[in-house]
Amino acid sequence: MINFEYVKANSAQSASEARIKNGASQFIAGGTNLVDLMKKGITAPERLIDINALPLKEISLTPKGLSIGALVPNSVAADHETVKTKYPLLAMALNAGASAQLRNMATVGGNIMQRTRCSYFYDTTMPCNKRNPGTGCSAVEGYNRMHAIFGASEQCIAVHPSDMCVALAALNATVQVSGTKGTRKIPFADFHRLPADTPQLDTNLQVGELITAVSIPAHSFNKAYYLKVRDRLSYAFALVSVAVALDVKDGMIRSAAIAMGGVAHKPWRLYEVEEFVTGKPISKELFTEAASIAMTGAKTYTHNQYKIKLGKAAIIEALTKASS
Amino acid sequence: MHMEEQHHCPRESRRSFLKQSTALAALATASPLLVKAAENEEKINAYFEKVPLQLEINGQLQNLSVEPRVTLLDLLREQLGLTGTKKGCDHGQCGCCTVHVDGKRINSCLSLAVMNQGKKITTIEGLANGEQLHPMQEAFMKHDGFQCGYCTPGQIMSAIGCIREGHANSAEDIREYMSGNICRCGAYPNIVDAIMEVKQGGQKV
């Protein structure tokens, strides 16, 4: 690992100032992704700004919803009683990600900021527009089994690796950020970007902006399920995943929130499917049709055609599990 | 600005030093004097880059000095000689390097040592009480929870974490919450048995 300067920030403001002052600096929280990227030579910050001393470790419930501090470890959020009882979808998604050790280290803010696990992004001997803009995308013509089927561009077909973010997208979360010019709230759907011509940009954060918390509005969903399909039973990234939250009464879906992981450069919200199932009685036929709608417009590559069939099956399974 | 500067070596000087040192290295065979000069400069450079670090490791307070890039794993193994903690993948994928930081299991290969300022670290060397092994160590021996033994320190540290976190209530639960520890010998059934026994024995871990 190339050496770097290390400083500890004691306020969000000072962290943002330090970040702007040195363009080659980066914030570090849990470090589970960043330290790995630095070891691999994918990123080489000149200065790390350790934000772990900032007071961003609270989980609080208000009538408006839930707020989780950016530095809350994934395991703490997943095991928190309020999260488990009022936002079970989030708890399930958190527990589906990484390993117990990594969840003890990784923070909620860092989870949102994690970078793709595309094997070509990780292989510094191969061209990659995300790692090295303008060099080309090795995955388009390469081994693209893990790659996107929605929202990709010819510049990048990588997928976002997070499970937690799929649940947050479904639950209409808001990302709270602070910068030198003050604070702002970014709706989850607008936080991550599609690759288009600038795959090097994962998010719409401005330089110096720091995630301070994520808030999830109060909701009326009484059913939830997070289904993750992967190459082994645990501790692997998703081939596809489905987050489902439903408000069901007397066998009728009153409202629905559905998002997919492992299929796009950002958590993929299925608005049309939500609209389709809303107001309809639960049935196998309904879910089958919903799954077909979900896969409309999918674009596959040589090795990821299976994701359409798998994605459909996963949606039917997740809707069935959630509503049962 | 309220930053706690850990040291005062501007990056530029380090970069220019590196360039200079490369140039000096090229001349090294020609002039022993230049080699000595480069070595001295490297020492000074290293001095400025190190960060003072206080840790409590297995109950002993340690005052250390480390480069920011040193991981907790490398600090334990290379600087402190605590080689019980193993380096497997060095990328957080195998769990060999699992230690406890303030009682919680983590992958020491992905934790920068400097980020653990003031924390309590427990490694496999810190589990036994004198000659008396920790119940989890005893259980691994009893149930033959290993073959080659390389993953075992990480498995044991993780197993203790698994019970402490309340995730060892069934074999299925244990398999899920121990999935961050890979055993290429495939001793999983015996590892699960060992953890089940300690959990059911109700001993404090």
Probe site for chain B from A4, A6, A210 (most B CB atoms < 10 A): A6
**pLDDT score, position A267:** 98
**pLDDT score, position B7:** 46
DSSP string, A102-125: HHHH-BHHHHHHPPP--HHHH-TT
Flag whether residue B180 sits within 8 Å of chain A, measured between CB atoms.
Answer: yes
> Residues B98, B145: one domain?
no
Q: What share of chain B is helix, strand, coil (3-state, %, to 5)?
A: 45, 15, 40
> Residues B122, B151: one domain?
no
For residue A159, give the nearest of A225, A235, A238, A106 by alpha carbon. Answer: A238
Which residue range forms the structural domain that includes residue B61? 51-126
Flag whether residue B176 sits within 8 Å of chain A, measured between CB atoms.
Answer: yes
Segment A24-79, tens digit of pLDDT: 999 999 999 999 999 999 999 999 999 999 999 999 999 999 999 999 999 999 99
- Residue B97 within any structural domain of the chain: yes
For residue A298, give the nearest of A191, A148, A198 by alpha carbon. Answer: A148
CB neighbour list of residue B2: distance below 8 Å, 6 or more residues apart = A10, A11, A14
Segment A237-268, tens digit of pLDDT: 999 999 999 999 999 999 999 999 999 999 99
How far B114 CA sits from the closest chain A CA (Å)?
8
Mean local confidence (pLDDT), A170-198: 98
Integer Rg of chain B from CA: 21
Segment A53-63, tens digit of pLDDT: 999 999 999 99
- Residue B170 within any structural domain of the chain: yes
Q: What share of chain A is helix, strand, coil (3-state, %, to 5)?
A: 30, 25, 45
**pLDDT score, position B5:** 45
Query: What ipTM was reported for this prediction?
Result: 0.97
CA A60 to chain centre: 21
Residue type, B170: S
Probe site for chain A from B111, B121, B179, B188 (most A CB atoms < 10 A): B179
> Residues B113, B59: one domain?
yes
**pTM score of the predicted model:** 0.91
**Do the Cβ atoms of A49 and A25 come closer than 8 Å?**
yes
Greater confidence (B1 vs A17) lies with A17
> Residues B55, B121: one domain?
yes
How far B115 CA sits from the closest chain A CA (Å)?
8
Rounded to whole angstroms, the Cα distance separating B84 from A174 reads 44
Buried b (16+ CB within 10 A) or exposed e, A43-81: eebbbbbbbbebebeebebeeebbbbbbbbbbbbbbbbe
Q: Count the domains in chain B.
A: 3
> Residues B20, B70: one domain?
no
Question: Apex CA A15: angle with CA A11 and CA A20, to 5°?
Answer: 150
Probe site for chain B from A17, A25, A101 (most B CB atoms < 10 A): A101
> Residues B58, B91: one domain?
yes
**Region class of B85: left (phi > 0), else alpha (psi between -120 and 50), else beta:** beta
Give the residue from B126, B161, B180 where a domain finishes: B126
Domain boundaries, chain A: 5-52, 223-323
- Residue B7 within any structural domain of the chain: no
CA A296 to chain centre: 22
Flag whether residue A51 sits within 8 Å of chain B, measured between CB atoms.
Answer: no
| Among chain A residues, CA nearest to B102 | A104
How far B110 CA sits from the closest chain A CA (Å)?
6
- Residue B2 within any structural domain of the chain: no
**pLDDT score, position B49:** 77
How far A26 CA sits from the closest chain B CA (Å)?
14
> Residues B58, B110: one domain?
yes
Give the residue from B92, B126, B160 where a domain finishes: B126
Rounded to whole angstroms, the Cα distance separating A307 from A148 reads 9
- Residue B118 within any structural domain of the chain: yes
Mean local confidence (pLDDT), A289-305: 98
Flag whether residue B49 sits within 8 Å of chain A, measured between CB atoms.
Answer: yes
- Residue B6 within any structural domain of the chain: no
pLDDT at residue A22 tops 50? yes
Give the residue from B74, B97, B126 where a domain finishes: B126
- Residue B4 within any structural domain of the chain: no
Class of domain A223-323: alpha beta
- CATH number, residue B73: 3.10.20.30
Integer Rg of chain A from CA: 19
**Helix (H/G/I), strand (E/B), else coil: A310:** helix
CB contact (8 A) between residue A100 and residue B167 = yes
**CB pairs below 8 Å between A and B: how many?**
113
**Helix (H/G/I), strand (E/B), else coil: A177:** strand
> Residues B29, B87: one domain?
no
Flag whether residue B184 sits within 8 Å of chain A, measured between CB atoms.
Answer: no
Rounded to whole angstroms, the Cα distance separating B123 from B156 reads 10
> Residues B154, B187: one domain?
yes
For residue B154, give the nearest of B130, B113, B122, B129 by alpha carbon. Answer: B122
> Residues B158, B119: one domain?
no
- Residue B3 within any structural domain of the chain: no
Rounded to whole angstroms, the Cα distance separating A187 from A215 reads 10
Per-position pLDDT tens, chain B of length 205: 445 444 444 444 444 444 444 444 444 444 445 555 555 555 445 445 799 999 999 999 999 999 999 999 999 999 999 999 999 999 999 999 999 999 999 999 999 999 999 999 999 999 999 999 999 999 999 999 999 999 999 999 999 999 999 999 999 999 999 999 999 999 999 999 999 999 999 989 9
CB contact (8 A) between residue B111 and residue A35 = yes
Flag whether residue A50 sits within 8 Å of chain B, measured between CB atoms.
Answer: yes
**pLDDT score, position B36:** 52
> Residues B141, B102: one domain?
no
CATH fold group of domain A5-52? 3.30.43
Task: Report percent pLDDT > 90 for chain A.
Answer: 100
Rounded to whole angstroms, the Cα distance separating B87 from B93 reads 11
